[in-house]
Amino acid sequence: MYFNFVESSNYYPRSELMKTKNSRIPKYFQMSVSDRQEVLASSLLLKEEQLNVLKNATDGLPLAIADKMTENVIGTFPLPFGIATNFTINGKDVLIPMAVEEPSVVAAASNMARIARSTGGFSTTYSGSIMIGQIHVTNIKDMDEAKQALNDAKLELIEKANTYDQTLVELGGGVKDIELRVLELGTSEKVLIIHLLVDVLDAMGANAVNTMAERLTPTIEKLTGGDVLLRILSNLAVYRLASAKVNIPFLSLETNEFKGQDVAKRMVLANEIALADPYRAATHNKGIMNGIDPVLIATGNDWRAIEAGAHAYATKEGQYSALTKWYTDDKTLYGELTMPMAVGIVGGATKTHPMAQLSLQLMDVKTASELAQIIVAVGLAQNMGAIRALATEGIQRGHMTLHARNIASQVGRNPEEIDWLEQVMIEKKDVRMDTAKSLLNKKLISE
């Protein structure tokens, strides 16, 4: 079958998430930047050189390194680098770095993680590190004969593919199996698709998988009598799923306007709508990625690949749908998120970017499995925050409160004016650029 989703794998053993000191840092958002740095350093026992990377974050990616990472480099583009607090994942506390420009993302994740702490936080699993390398063969005269030839030569093909990355194989990775699919195009032409199932261990795996697929091309063409057209990995990493679960007592969901049980029911209904309506599902899943992408960026991972895999996985039932499930019993709200998570901690930007290396150190991540599980937990927390707000007060109240600082900073000429503008716009519940300008003009005239 095209979608062969798995919940577990014997290819790669799971690792426990590493322990940090304590992710619960009350009023962290109220501290100055320098105080946040010092508290973080104390909590995680950072070395002086690690703290200096944070303090000199504008120099976090030297031009000499950037110039080797991509083409035509003329500078670097910094993003705000924040810490999501309060996370407990598989019983271990984790402080999570997030590189993101959008207001409310870090705050929402941290707030939901705080609520989840009382019941043990998030539990997560990882199905393994198998990536799919696809080889598409066209112009095959006899499909059955070609498939039989490939099946007969499977062990030979696996052995040959594994000669192209001896280091990966020595570490326990490499091609583990080969699958065959036949695809009928709109033109009625049939294409034979070969899936190399490659255990890439702690890498994202693109380079290893693509090399193996390309090197097998002559052999594949000889065996099938066809022409290899495409040979590249698939970002629909269905053998590399990360899952997160959380349970929240109704009491923890209460607001000034809603009882906890009502909040839970409204959240479940909001999720059911996203399961049924692809227009809503697109925004629902975007909210999940609001939490996931910043951690991917902070760790130097390919956020575009994870986005592609997530949205493709969202169609597994035949229609684009929500990636999460929320449901209740008589006392508790339960949430689940499962999605492809092909992340790496070796190679690429994760090894060359100083801030990416620091991010992995802050989380004490030692394996790709650990990183994948942390990231999916953040995605579930972010979704929890989004649908809780949507189903109760509306998304704008909290978002615009945080956005007020951004608007005030663009209009105010000094810290005093910025603080005043932020406070007045929040009180008036009117956070807009023209409002800020009008308020400041009136203030200046009155003075």
Domain CATH number, residue 227: 3.30.70.420
* 296 domain-assigned: yes
> 432-444 b/e with 16+ CB inside 10 Å = b?
eeebbeebbeeee
Label residue 197 left, alpha or beta by phi (over 0 means left) and psi (-120 to 50 means alpha): beta
Q: Say if residue 184's pLDDT is above 50.
A: yes
> 384-396 b/e with 16+ CB inside 10 Å = b?
bbbbbbbbbeebe
Global pTM?
A: 0.86
Q: Say if residue 330's pLDDT is above 60.
A: yes
Q: Residue 341 and residue 57: Cα distance in Å, rounded?
A: 28
**Which tens digits make up the pLDDT trace of 357-396?**
999 999 999 999 999 999 999 999 999 999 999 988 765 5
**Which tens digits make up the pLDDT trace of 344-363?**
999 888 888 999 999 999 99
Predicted local confidence at residue 399, as pLDDT? 59
Same domain? For 254 and 338 the reply is yes
Q: How confident is the model at residue 7 (pLDDT cuts 50, 70, 90)?
A: very low
Q: Say if residue 326's pLDDT is above 80.
A: yes
Give the total number of structural domains in the chain: 3
* 112 domain-assigned: yes
**Which tens digits make up the pLDDT trace of 287-302?**
999 999 999 999 999 9
Known catalytic residues are 102, 286, 302, 399
Q: How confident is the model at residue 19 (pLDDT cuts 50, 70, 90)?
A: very low
Predicted local confidence at residue 14, as pLDDT? 31
Same domain? For 351 and 382 the reply is yes
Same domain? For 266 and 390 the reply is yes
- Report the DSSP beta bridge partners of residue 138: 227
Q: 23-26, long-range: CB within 8 Å, 24+ apart, which pairs?
A: 23/85, 23/86, 23/87, 23/88, 23/93, 23/94, 23/95, 23/96, 23/113, 24/85, 24/86, 24/93, 24/114, 24/117, 25/85, 25/86, 25/95
Widest distance between CA atoms in the chain: 89
Cα torsion 412, 394, 245, 344: sign: negative
Range of 413's domain?
397-446
Q: What is the dihedral of CA 201, 204, 207, 209, to 10 degrees?
A: 60
Cα Rg of the chain (Å, integer): 25
* 1 domain-assigned: no
| Mean pLDDT along residues 136-153 | 98
Same domain? For 259 and 364 the reply is yes
Last residue of a domain, one of 177, 206, 233: 233
Predicted local confidence at residue 3, as pLDDT? 43
Q: Say if residue 441's pLDDT is above 90.
A: no
* 174 domain-assigned: yes
Q: How confident is the model at residue 431 (pLDDT cuts 50, 70, 90)?
A: confident
What CATH number does the domain containing 402 carry? 1.10.8
